[in-house]
């Protein structure tokens, strides 16, 4: 009888010990789960790719967890929980890739001032008449950089068209838009228009306007690798270069000296 009582006590003690062990082992698991479920910082990102000039919709934006410090230019959910509704309807000034944090300095209010908001301080926008032939076959797109070529026909002594002079008057000029298109198509196809809007300094505006009034203007597409070069203005009074002359179907080149050479 005593042996039976001892056996029952042993079994009861073992069960109690097992129950206590299981209970204590659950505590770290629950604590770890609570740590994982702790809310993380979130930033506003583009839910899909956005082309330049796109109108933001709520479906284009979503919150994304963010580890570490959030840069001040990013939009955090903690500081602006209503950002998705507040930014709806704004225009993207530049292209966003899917998953890229949305920055308010890359957005503009929708309206007539969209192009002016794209201009850096001190810059101006001017439109020039173009054709497919004068825009590298129509493959010049918004945000490309070009050289501006001025071509003018000089009559001969009899008053008939004689020499045709062509020279580069501006270099490394950014194209803002072709007609009213401010971004390339989704498939990257060319944009053929009747006007191209160029970004220029105030003093370059007069040069372009004078060139259009006295002849024709063509745009030469530059390589992307050359876009970092500083823009160059060819002045009539201090320019030395080569002018190509077409006369009677013949092409010849003439070096143009500067006025300081006494020419």
pLDDT in tens, 99-113: 999 998 888 777 656
Greatest mean pLDDT among 33-47, 106-120, 142-156 lies in: 142-156
* C-alpha 236 chain-centroid distance: 34
Picking from 192, 212, 207, 199, the residue whose alpha carbon sits closest to that of residue 129 is 212
pLDDT at 188: 55
* Mean pLDDT value across the chain: 76
**Mean pLDDT of the region 120-132:** 87
Q: How many CB atoms lie within 10 A of CB 167?
A: 18
| pLDDT band for position 261 (cuts 50, 70, 90) | very low
What are 65-103's pLDDT values in tens digits? 998 899 999 999 999 999 999 999 888 877 899 999 999
Picking from 101, 29, 20, the residue whose alpha carbon sits closest to that of residue 66 is 101
pLDDT at 111: 62
Q: Who has greater pLDDT, 225 or 244?
A: 225
pLDDT at 183: 64
Q: What is the pTM of this model?
A: 0.55
What are 159-199's pLDDT values in tens digits? 666 688 889 999 999 998 888 776 665 555 566 678 899 99
pLDDT at 258: 45
Can you tell me the distance from the alpha carbon of 236 to that of 174, in angstroms, rounded to the nearest whole number? 22
Query: Tokens in use for 162?
Result: 């004689």
**Mean pLDDT of the region 228-236:** 64
State whether residue 106 is helix, strand or coil: helix
**Mean pLDDT of the region 1-25:** 63
pLDDT at 48: 92
Q: Who has greater pLDDT, 185 or 49?
A: 49
pLDDT at 44: 96
Dmax (CA) for the chain in angstroms is 142
Query: Tokens in use for 251?
Result: 């092409």
Contact (CB, 8 A) for 231 and 172? yes
């Amino acid at each position: 009888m005593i042996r039976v009582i001892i056996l029952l006590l042993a079994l009861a003690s073992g069960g109690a010990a097992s129950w206590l062990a299981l209970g204590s082992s659950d505590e770290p698991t629950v604590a770890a789960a609570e740590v994982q479920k702790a809310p993380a910082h979130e930033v506003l990102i583009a839910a899909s790719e956005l082309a330049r000039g796109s109108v933001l919709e709520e479906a284009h934006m979503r919150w994304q967890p963010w580890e570490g410090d959030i840069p001040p230019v990013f939009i955090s959910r903690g500081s602006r929980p209503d950002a998705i509704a507040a930014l709806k309807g704004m225009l993207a000034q530049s292209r966003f890739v899917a998953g890229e944090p949305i920055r308010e300095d890359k957005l503009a209010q929708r309206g007539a001032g969209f192009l002016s908001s794209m201009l850096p301080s001190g810059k101006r926008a001017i439109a020039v008449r173009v054709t497919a032939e004068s825009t590298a076959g129509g493959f010049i797109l918004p945000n490309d950089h070009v050289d501006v070529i001025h071509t003018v026909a000089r009559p001969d002594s009899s008053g008939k068209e004689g020499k045709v002079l062509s020279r580069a008057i501006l270099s490394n000029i950014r194209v803002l838009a072709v007609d009213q298109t401010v971004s390339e198509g989704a498939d990257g196809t060319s944009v053929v228009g009747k006007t191209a809007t160029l970004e220029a300094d105030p003093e370059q505006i007069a040069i372009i306007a004078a060139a259009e009034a006295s002849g024709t203007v063509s745009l030469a597409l530059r390589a992307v690798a050359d876009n970092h070069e500083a823009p160059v203005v060819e002045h009539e009074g201090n320019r030395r270069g080569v002018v190509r002359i077409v006369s009677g179907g013949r092409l010849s080149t003439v070096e143009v000296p500067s006025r300081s050479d006494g020419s």
